[in-house]
Amino acid sequence: MRNKHIIAPSVLAADFSKLGEQLEMINQSEADWLHVDIMDGRFVPNISFGANIVKTINKVCKKPLDVHLMIEEPGRYLKDFRDAGAEILTVHLEACPHLHRVIQQIKDLGAKAGVAINPHTSVDLLDDVLEDLDMICLMSVNPGFGGQKFIYQTLPKLRKLREKLETRNLNPFVEVDGGVGLQNAESILQAGANFLVAGSSVFKSENPIESVKKLKAIGSETWV
């Protein structure tokens, strides 16, 4: 079935000195999910925050939390983030030598299971777990920082992934994360995404509520 695409503002780009206000604003907006970036300073060259902050965010935010773990050994922390309120837990393929096990651990916790891949990682590497996934996240920047430029090689990757999903009759969330805004959202959706993360293009814009509305209004229907 075709439906409307999902918009998930990334809280990493919010002004943390007034986090409560920023989350209230997201509550008022047409955003579907809130994207929450966890960085450990090892898997990626930056540190963000941990499960306690996620718990605090979850108390104020009425949107479900899409938690993106850019950390090594994510299996050790899944329960903490699930307890903190994560609805989707996404781990990186590059951080998981035992990816299948980690996916099962996420499911056992009752969360939706996502796998993210870096710009250089082929979607073919997901072939043997596709049936197990609720979300596939294609990174369209090298993870670690908000506000980077969209890598256009993501578009052919998306098309390839969408073809595989159609052939196998699967319909997970296909998320694109990094450098997404009004200037490229339409081509990303056309290439096969149905879930867009938007950090700077929402929180750093003059009118974030309006920016979400515009992102939401792009196209009429999508791959859901």
Phi first, then psi, for residue 32 (nearest 5°) are -95, -40
CA distance 188 to 155: 6
Contact pick of 6, 12, 113, 158 for ligand DX5 (by CB under 6 A)? 12
**Which of the residues 15, 32, 37, 80 is marked catalytic?**
37
| Contact flag: residue 9 with ligand DX5 (CB under 6 A) | no
CA distance 81 to 83: 5
For the CB of residue 10, give the shortest distance to ligand DX5 in the complex, in Å: 4
| Contact flag: residue 45 with ligand DX5 (CB under 6 A) | no
Applying CB under 6 A, the span of 16-24, 49-57, 172-180, 211-219 interacting with ligand DX5 comes to 172-180
Angle, vertex CA 94, rays to CA 80 and CA 73, nearest 5 = 30
CA distance 218 to 58: 28
Contact pick of 32, 40, 94, 177 for Zn ion (by CB under 5 A)? 177
37 has catalytic annotation: yes
Helix (H) or strand (E) holding 213: helix 208-217
Task: Give the interface with ligand DX5 as residue ranges (CB under 6 A).
Answer: 10, 12-13, 35, 37, 68, 141, 143-148, 177-180, 197-201
